Amino acid sequence: MQIHIVGCDGGIAPGKLTTCFQLSDSLIIDAGSICGGMDLEAQSKIRDIFISHTHLDHIRDLGFLADNMLGEIDRINLHALPEVNRHLKAHFFNNVIWPDFTRIPSPKNPFYVLNDIDAETKYGFGAITVLLVRVSHVVPSTGFVLEDQESAVVISGDTGPTDRIWEICRTYSNIKGFFVELAFPTALQAIADASKHFTPATLKKELCKFEKDNTPVALYHLKPKYAGQIREEIAALGNSVFRFLSNGEIVRF
């Protein structure tokens, strides 16, 4: 399996791109930086997008992608929990924030088709199987277990301390890597707790739930203002399983 890290930042600043992982030419997880991080030709090949949750840093380029590709792509399927799709329609594609591309160019053949999917059910896309697992965030949110013939990879999604996704991980014997969110430094623990994100302190505690056999843990979703501070705190832990994802990187398992 290989994953193109289109964007992995927890906010926007020059050179920063929010969450977007490309699994194949046509398959994407989260739309934080599809348009900011992929050229128009690459955008034209997208057919399926999984959405972890409705926060703007994960959905914003759905709007610009529709603008760019209407007339070139007939349809793109948006796969998400039913409540995520419902909120996308009510609060983003509502003809106020953005035109309703779930009914454009026509209600019968819209650009975006909202596909409700169930958590903890495996969906196959070519060689890759995608499983969504609910995690602990301030809005309905999922992490992902991705699997192909050789390996499995776990993406935490936006979450604070959580249990179910790690329970499910224990049923897999072929996990080759974890991508885990980390948003704030420990000094902002109260904000992290209120917004349900990790700091290095809570991540350190969480690690005992999922780390096994020194499986690498790649961290992402750092808030740009605190990225340096967070990196120093992680370095101080002295744990070699940790590293940080980079925008544009291809991770192979």
Assign residue 107 a region (left: φ > 0; alpha: ψ between -120 and 50; beta: otherwise): alpha
Instruction: State which residue, 6 or 69, has the beta carbon closest to Zn ion.
Output: 6
Tell me, what amino acid is at 16?
A: K
For Zn ion, which stretch binds (CB under 5 A), given 69-77, 94-102, 110-118, 152-160? 152-160
Instruction: State which residue, 111 or 178, has the beta carbon closest to Zn ion.
Output: 178
C-alpha to C-alpha distances, 87 to 20, 81, 159, 189, nearest whole angstrom: 20, 10, 19, 28
Q: How far is the CB of 161 from Zn ion (least distance, A)?
A: 15
**Which residue from 48, 147, 158, 233 is in contact with Zn ion, where contact means CB under 5 A?**
158
Q: How far is the CB of 245 from Zn ion (least distance, A)?
A: 14
For residue 38, the Cα-to-chain-centroid distance in whole angstroms is 16
57 lines the binding site for Zn ion (CB under 5 A): yes
* Rounded distance between C-alpha atoms, residue 115 and residue 82, angstroms: 8
55 lines the binding site for Zn ion (CB under 5 A): yes
Instruction: State which residue, 57 or 100, has the beta carbon closest to Zn ion.
Output: 57
* Rounded distance between C-alpha atoms, residue 155 and residue 144, angstroms: 5
Instruction: State which residue, 4 or 60, has the beta carbon closest to Zn ion.
Output: 60
Give the list of residues 6+ apart from residue 170 with CB closer than 8 angstroms, or none. Answer: none
196 lines the binding site for Zn ion (CB under 5 A): no
Determine contact, residues 33/46, Cβ cutoff 8 Å.
no
Q: How far is the CB of 221 from Zn ion (least distance, A)?
A: 6
60 lines the binding site for Zn ion (CB under 5 A): no
Element at 37 (helix H, strand E): helix 34-37
Structure tokens that stand for 33 in this block: 């930086």
Give the list of residues 6+ apart from residue 14 with CB closer than 8 angstroms, or none. Answer: none
For Zn ion, which stretch binds (CB under 5 A), given 43-51, 67-75, 150-158, 233-241? 150-158
Determine contact, residues 183/201, Cβ cutoff 8 Å.
no
16 lines the binding site for Zn ion (CB under 5 A): no
Number of chain positions touching Zn ion (CB under 5 A):
3
Instruction: State which residue, 57 or 61, has the beta carbon closest to Zn ion.
Output: 57
Q: How far is the CB of 105 from Zn ion (least distance, A)?
A: 31
Residues found near Zn ion in the complex (CB under 5 A): 55, 57, 158
